[in-house]
A and B are shown apart, each in its own frame.
Chain A
Amino acid sequence: MEVYNSEEEQVQAIKQWWKDNSVSLIAGIVIGVAVLAGYRYWTDYKHTQAQQASEIYSDILSSVKDKAKKAEILKTDYSATPYAALAGLIVAKDHVDKNNLEEAITQLKWVVDNSDSGIQHIAQLRLARLYLSQDNIEAADALVKGVKVEGFSAAYNEIRGDINLAKNLPVQAKENYRLALASLSPGDQRYPIIKMKLDDLAQANSLMAPNGNVSAEDKSK
């Protein structure tokens, strides 16, 4: 620490310091302010985008008309917001209800490619179910093979069971359904459905008819 002899000297020192540093100090402040202002502008812009997307999405939920058109707007102009993916899920459902599985698949593929991981898993599982419903077993299989995620493990195991059943592999399907049930509590709403699929595969004396069905059924047809 320097020692100053008089106030005069101190004032001199401060003046000198100001002369040496004023430019960088002011520059620093200006840059700082500019960065902060830029950051503010950018977050504001993002907020506005999100709010507008949120409005359009609400319209899609509440109206029947122009759903697909509005979803397209979200996909093109608001693809940075999460609402585009949500709209994709909804439009896909509408296509399924009209039995346009190809269109639904296109929508869900887009969602898989353009959403964060939670929504992505939902879209991926649904996509696999659509492929399976079209008997496109390979495509379904490729989507869910070996995927292991907490929260979705029952759903992945169930679809793997459905796929194995379609491949005529009831023993593997049983194991898939069993694993699915193991990750659910018996109170879960999905439990009875999977349980029903599993129970249907049990055969007395563990003799398996070639197609996984019993002779009694064949007689009834």
Chain B
Amino acid sequence: MLQAIRNNAQGVFVWIIVGLIVISFALFGLGSYLSGASKVVAASVNGVEISSTDLTRAYQNYQERLRNMFGEQYNPEMFATTQVKQEVLQGLITQEVMNQLLHKQGYKASSEQIFEKIKKYEAFQEGGVFSATRYKEVLSQQGMNGEAFENDLSRDIATQQIRSAIGSSAFITEKEKQVLAMLENQKRKIGYFDVSLKPYLKSVNVSDEEVKSYYEKNSHLYLSEEMVQIEYVELNMADVAARQEVTEEQIKQHYETSPESYMYSDDIAAKKKITELRNQIQQGADFASLAKEHSQDKGSAQQGGDLGYLTRGIEEKFDNVVFALKKGEISQVIKSKEGFQIIQVEDIRTGDPEERKVRHILLKAKNKLQPFADVKAAIRKELQYQEAGKVFFNDADQMNNLSYETPDSLAPVADALGLKLNTSTLMTRRGGTGLLANPKILKAAFSNEVLKEGRNSELLEISETHNVVLRVKEHKAASVLAFDKVKSRIKESLLQEKASIKAQEVTSDIFARLNNNESIDSVKKRYPETKWVDTGWIKRKTDKETKISVGLPDQLRQHAFEMPKPVTKTTSWDKVSLPAGNQAVIAVFKVENTNETNTANDNNRITQVLGNTDYNSFVQYQKSQADISVSQAAFEADTNQ
């Protein structure tokens, strides 16, 4: 049978099959055959699945962003993992909903728009210009495929198009401006009874029994902080280096084989010599002959240091000296790139440019080898670090292995590597000082593995040249604080509570009386400990913006504008709680709409708000139209990560 096919197959069959294969690849591409490993599903949107791998990746990216934002301060425990993951997942769902919308409605970025965007990424640029090679390199380094990346960009661009269409097309009509300006600039005439806590704190009492019984009922509120004492070994490049044996021989050998590292330029001798020459000239010696004898400027020495007529433009420092000298004068010793010089001006030709005939003597400083005794310590250190570099990574490896193999003790690590076993004091989650304040150390010390299971931590890389392994020596769980320690705190809070109840009673009574048309004066007499404040006209905006009614608590101002308006001859009264247990009873006497208009800024702000919220509504609407299901299991599985 097979033989027959083989024979016949030369013809039609093969061509049909090959044809089919070719067509299917030509039409659908290779991509659709390569995807589709089984995965755990976190959510699905209209049947399209978001895998838990996608979720984990997005979550990690999010954490990475937080880490960049908070730097050293970052501690993953700051963010409740499950809640954050929920939010990240909602973000992914929104993205998927939008992607489907883009596809369905036919929103699409053009190739030019995509390319424009790619060109702007710094990562794809070389010397500020987009480079195609670099683009391919970066993508393959990131394990990304160009087509997928460009599709992502296309979606970003199209999403942004919708967003800006909705956002930037928001408007506010003239009539709406008037209405909002009228409300925002409304004035209200108010006053208030200030019922502060202070007078009542003096009038209330708390007995010792009350304090005691409160403590007994609520002891769970008064806990000491959990504390640990840790043991740790530290592997530090500097310590390793200090332990390295380097012999006198090795140091000497290093000194002799690479003397070029230990040369210095002997400025002192050169300067001394040229100063001497200058003195001789000033005492009458001939400049030219000294130059011939001593100058190290080979070009001019034979001519007695004569440089001929010069114009400006040799070197700034040299020019400055030459064109400041008088005819015949000899310069101070100057130091230039060439070496030490003295200069004499023999003749000046005024004109444009001015020319000066110059002689000079140049002495170059000699390079000298530093004496062995001076550099010995530095060479020793250098050699020690060279050796330590080889040892350190071996030691770190061994430290890692040993602490893992005997998880219940650090002694083997300390013994094997000759390290000191350190012990900290008891410390809270906030840590101690220096190394003990390092977030990596604290995170490890309070981790499940170390704290609950009593194991050695993994190797903690404090820096590239500083590793630590630790374990918990002692753990003091949070415990109820002794009564004596918290007595005064409890008494304080009970006093506050009682005073606050008193203040609330007074506030309620004042409110009731005023509401029943009792006069403000009569209330003032009845409660002399309170204070009536006649504020006058206020506006919604705060003091800083209006510069009126300074010192009015924000809550009070805000509440005054939420209160019902007074109707003819009626004052509108209400109670409001202020910070720190203080209370107030507010009166709104009058309301006036001003004819002030909003500024262009105000109107822009409102327009922007309308645009933003329209887009949010749009997204929310699209989500409500989609069939979304979230699998709870997907992120309960690994919340401990």
Q: Specify whether A and B are partners.
A: yes
Give me the interface of A with B, judged by CB distance under 8 Å: 7, 10-11, 14, 18, 25, 29, 33, 36, 40, 46-47, 49-52, 54-55, 57-58, 61, 80-83, 86-87, 89-90, 92-93, 96-97, 99, 101, 104, 116-119, 121-122, 125-126, 129-130, 132-133, 149-152, 154-155, 188-190, 193, 195-197, 199-200, 202-207, 209, 213-217, 219-220
With A10-B1, A14-B4 already in contact, the answer to whether A57 and B566 are too (CB < 8 A) is no
Contact A214–B566 (Cβ < 8 Å): yes
Contact B592–A200 (Cβ < 8 Å): no
Contacts of B620 in A (CB 8 A): 150-151
- 5 interchain pairs, CB-CB under 8 A: A55-B113, A81-B106, A121-B621, A154-B613, A209-B567
Query: Any chain A CB within 8 A of the CB of B612?
Result: yes
Contacts of B170 in A (CB 8 A): 93
Contact A133–B176 (Cβ < 8 Å): yes
Query: Any chain A CB within 8 A of the CB of B12?
Result: yes
With A46-B106, A205-B570, A215-B568 already in contact, the answer to whether A196 and B111 are too (CB < 8 A) is no
Contact of A92 among B161, B169, B174 (CB under 8 A): B169
Interface residues of B in 579-597 (CB under 8 A from A): 588, 590-594
Contacts of A101 in B (CB 8 A): 173
* CB proximity of A98 to chain B, nearest CB, Å: 11
Contacts of A116 in B (CB 8 A): 105
* CB proximity of A206 to chain B, nearest CB, Å: 8
Give the contact-size bracket for chain B: 35 or more
Contact A50–B180 (Cβ < 8 Å): no
Contact A150–B27 (Cβ < 8 Å): no
The 8 closest A-B pairs by CB, nearest first: A151-B621, A151-B620, A150-B624, A86-B165, A89-B169, A50-B108, A51-B110, A204-B572
Contacts of A125 in B (CB 8 A): 614
Residue of B nearest to A32 (CB): B23
Contact A133–B173 (Cβ < 8 Å): yes
With A50-B108, A54-B113, A216-B590 already in contact, the answer to whether A152 and B171 are too (CB < 8 A) is no
- Which among B62-70, B140-148, B557-565 touches the partner chain? B557-565
Residue of B nearest to A202 (CB): B564
CA distance A32 to B625 in the complex (A): 35
Interface residues of B in 170-187 (CB under 8 A from A): 170-171, 173-176, 180, 183-184, 186
CA distance A25 to B173 in the complex (A): 67
Interface residues of B in 106-128 (CB under 8 A from A): 106-113
Most buried by A among B27, B111, B588, B620: B620
Contact A11–B4 (Cβ < 8 Å): yes
Contact A199–B110 (Cβ < 8 Å): no
Extra contacts besides A46-B106, A93-B170, A216-B566 (15): CB < 8 Å: A7-B4, A25-B16, A36-B23, A47-B108, A55-B113, A57-B165, A83-B161, A96-B173, A104-B171, A189-B613, A190-B610, A202-B562, A204-B572, A205-B564, A215-B567
Query: Any chain A CB within 8 A of the CB of B158?
Result: yes
For the A-B complex, the count of residue pairs with Cβ-Cβ distances under 8 Å equals 187
Contact A151–B617 (Cβ < 8 Å): yes
CA distance A205 to B565 in the complex (A): 9
Query: Any chain A CB within 8 A of the CB of B622?
Result: yes
CA distance A133 to B572 in the complex (A): 32
Contacts of B562 in A (CB 8 A): 195, 199, 202
Contact of A54 among B110, B186, B609 (CB under 8 A): B110
CA distance A93 to B610 in the complex (A): 13
Contacts of B625 in A (CB 8 A): 117
With A150-B624, A215-B568 already in contact, the answer to whether A7 and B617 are too (CB < 8 A) is no
Contact B8–A14 (Cβ < 8 Å): yes
Contact B168–A93 (Cβ < 8 Å): yes
CA distance A7 to B6 in the complex (A): 13
CA distance A122 to B112 in the complex (A): 29
Contact B3–A7 (Cβ < 8 Å): yes
Interface residues of B in 588-640 (CB under 8 A from A): 588, 590-594, 606, 609-610, 612-614, 616-625
Contact B168–A61 (Cβ < 8 Å): yes
Most buried by A among B166, B171, B184, B612: B171
Contact B614–A155 (Cβ < 8 Å): yes
Query: Any chain A CB within 8 A of the CB of B162?
Result: yes
Query: Any chain A CB within 8 A of the CB of B253?
Result: no
With A51-B109, A118-B621 already in contact, the answer to whether A99 and B174 are too (CB < 8 A) is yes
Residue of B nearest to A207 (CB): B567
CA distance A152 to B621 in the complex (A): 7
Contact A193–B180 (Cβ < 8 Å): yes
Contact A151–B618 (Cβ < 8 Å): yes
Contacts of A36 in B (CB 8 A): 23, 27
Contacts of A155 in B (CB 8 A): 613-614, 617
With A50-B106, A199-B562 already in contact, the answer to whether A7 and B1 are too (CB < 8 A) is yes
* CB proximity of B108 to chain A, nearest CB, Å: 4
Contacts of A25 in B (CB 8 A): 16
Contact A133–B175 (Cβ < 8 Å): yes
Contacts of A14 in B (CB 8 A): 4, 8
CA distance A49 to B107 in the complex (A): 10
Contact B567–A89 (Cβ < 8 Å): no
* CB proximity of B573 to chain A, nearest CB, Å: 8
Contact A203–B567 (Cβ < 8 Å): yes
* CB proximity of B91 to chain A, nearest CB, Å: 17
Residue of B nearest to A214 (CB): B565
Residue of B nearest to A198 (CB): B562
Residue of B nearest to A197 (CB): B183
* CB proximity of A143 to chain B, nearest CB, Å: 15
CA distance A199 to B610 in the complex (A): 20
Contact of B107 among A11, A50, A195 (CB under 8 A): A50
Query: Any chain A CB within 8 A of the CB of B425?
Result: no
Contact B564–A33 (Cβ < 8 Å): no
Contacts of A47 in B (CB 8 A): 108
CA distance A196 to B110 in the complex (A): 44
Contact of A203 among B101, B171, B565 (CB under 8 A): B565
Contact A204–B166 (Cβ < 8 Å): no
Contacts of B158 in A (CB 8 A): 54
* CB proximity of A36 to chain B, nearest CB, Å: 5
Contact A93–B169 (Cβ < 8 Å): yes
Contact B171–A97 (Cβ < 8 Å): yes
CA distance A146 to B468 in the complex (A): 68
Contacts of A206 in B (CB 8 A): 564
Residue of A nearest to B12 (CB): A18
* CB proximity of B25 to chain A, nearest CB, Å: 12
* CB proximity of A219 to chain B, nearest CB, Å: 8
* CB proximity of B536 to chain A, nearest CB, Å: 14
Residue of B nearest to A165 (CB): B179
CA distance A132 to B169 in the complex (A): 18
Contacts of A152 in B (CB 8 A): 617, 621
Contacts of A121 in B (CB 8 A): 617-618, 621
Contacts of A51 in B (CB 8 A): 108-111
Contact B592–A217 (Cβ < 8 Å): yes
* CB proximity of B156 to chain A, nearest CB, Å: 13
Contact B561–A199 (Cβ < 8 Å): yes
